[in-house]
Structure formats: C-alpha cells, structure tokens
Chains A and B, each alone.
Chain A
Amino acid sequence: EVVMTQSPATLSVSPGERATLSCRASQSVGNKLAWYQHKPGQAPRLLIYGASTRATGIPDRFSGSGSGTEFSLTITSLRSEDSALYFCQQYENWPPFTFAPGTKVEIK
C-alpha cells in the first residue's frame, strides 16, 4: 500500500499571499496524483489531477507540480474562500486508493 503524507498540517497565510502545500508518496506514483479541497459540511472538490492538470472550473490560482514521490500544490493570491482542508490522493497503485491526511489552510 502506498502511504501518503502531507506537510505542513496547518498553514496560516494572509490574504493575497501564496501558499505552498507538500505531498509525499512512500513509493513512486508517477504523475497519478490528485488534489482536493474540502470545506466543512461540503463535498470534497477535485482541484488537480495528473499532478498538474486543473479540473474543470478551477481557477488558475491553483497549480500543481511534481512527479514520482514529491508533489506540491500552490495557491496564489489567497482569498478568504480558500480557507479549507487540502488533501492529495494517489491512483497509480490501486487497490487501495490512498489519501494523505491533509493540510488545513487558514486565512489570517
């Protein structure tokens, strides 16, 4: 099973600034990595797939990069609405699909 980890656990950023989130896989997953945004009481929302491709309707303030075992999600020009939990998921080696615990992004 591929173990997914993320850092930091919490990130506090001022509006307008940039946030960079990291995701690591215990073994190579190629570019089979997705990022999601999850706000309390809502359905998780797909942001990025294929490590760097934005899903439909996702603004270009969100960008993903990386391959193999190291990935990152960058959010530029942060807005209050970006406050959420962000988690990554690998789909290279399933079953099982595995998820990282997530990074909570707080807007100061």
Chain B
Amino acid sequence: QVQLQESGPGVVKPWETLSLTCNVSGDSMSNGRNYFWAWIRQPPGKGLEWIGSIYFTGSTYYNLSLRGRFTISVDTSTNQFSLKVNSVTASDAAVYYCARHSAHINLDWFDTWGQGTLVTVSS
C-alpha cells in the first residue's frame, strides 16, 4: 500500500523560497504510469486549494490562479517529488499536503494523501 510523507522547514522567512518534499513509499513512482502526484494546501481557516500535479515523466499541470510562483518536480530515483514556492508571503502559510490521483480520465480522484506539513511564514 502506497504511503506519502511530506517534509519541510516548518518556518520560512518572507520573500524566501519554500521547499517541500514528498516521500513515496510502498510503490515505485517510475512504475506508476497510472498516477499523477499532486500538491494541495489549506491556509488557516480556509478550504483546500490544489496547487498542481506531476507525472513521473515530469509533465505538470498547475493551478493558474496561483500566478506562477510554484514549481513541482519529480525524482524517480529517490521516489520523491517536490514543491518550490518562490517569494513567499503570509498568504502562503498553510498546511501543505501531497497526494496521488489517477492519470486516467474520469478516474482522477485523490486516493492517497500524506498527513500534511505546516508551513509558517515569519521573519
């Protein structure tokens, strides 16, 4: 059974770059041609917001409303995928989740999630 675990700095300074990693265990990402790997966040007191998804080849989809500060990458050799957020502001403070969804059309619900990692923006 696949499991996901996020890791990150916990606290990041305003205008710096936030880097998060999701470790995938229980399955090889390079064998997972049926899946996308996603980042989702939840700011305090707000709903969930999908950031973007990546395929094992590196192909990505992003939430265009987030205006291009986000970059998702994948490293199948370490079975991890990552999120970078440039020039963070207080609005980027959130619990960040990694998750998996199917690459097959009409089957793309999120079947596996990590527990989430809290990111605080503070100088």
* Chain A contact residues, CB within 8 Å of chain B: 1, 32, 34, 36, 41-46, 49, 55, 87, 89, 91, 94-102
Smallest CB separation, B62 vs chain A (Å): 7
**A99 with B111, Cβ < 8 A, contacts A1-B65, A32-B106 known:** no
Would you call B110 and A96 a contact (CB within 8 A)?
no
Docked Cα-Cα span, A38 to B18, in Å, equals 25
Q: How large is the interface on B (under 10, 10 to 19, 20 to 34, 35 or more residues)?
A: 20 to 34
Q: Is B61 an interface residue (CB 8 A)?
A: yes
Docked Cα-Cα span, A89 to B50, in Å, equals 10
**A95 with B106, Cβ < 8 A, contacts A43-B114, A87-B48, A101-B47 known:** no
Docked Cα-Cα span, A55 to B62, in Å, equals 27
Q: How many A-B residue pairs have CB under 8 A?
A: 64
**A96 with B48, Cβ < 8 A, contacts A43-B116, A44-B110, A46-B110 known:** no
Main secondary structure of the interface of A (DSSP, over half): loop
Docked Cα-Cα span, A102 to B45, in Å, equals 11
**A96 with B109, Cβ < 8 A, contacts A43-B4, A44-B97 known:** no
Docked Cα-Cα span, A82 to B114, in Å, equals 20
Would you call A46 and B115 a contact (CB within 8 A)?
no
CB neighbours of B61 from chain A (8 A): 94-95
Q: Which residue of A lies closest to B51 (CB)?
A: A96
Docked Cα-Cα span, A55 to B4, in Å, equals 18
Residue from A45, A96, A100 within 8 A of B64 (CB atoms): A96
CB neighbours of A98 from chain B (8 A): 50
Docked Cα-Cα span, A36 to B64, in Å, equals 24
Task: Name the 3 nearest CB pairs between A and B, nearest first.
Answer: A34-B109, A99-B48, A101-B47
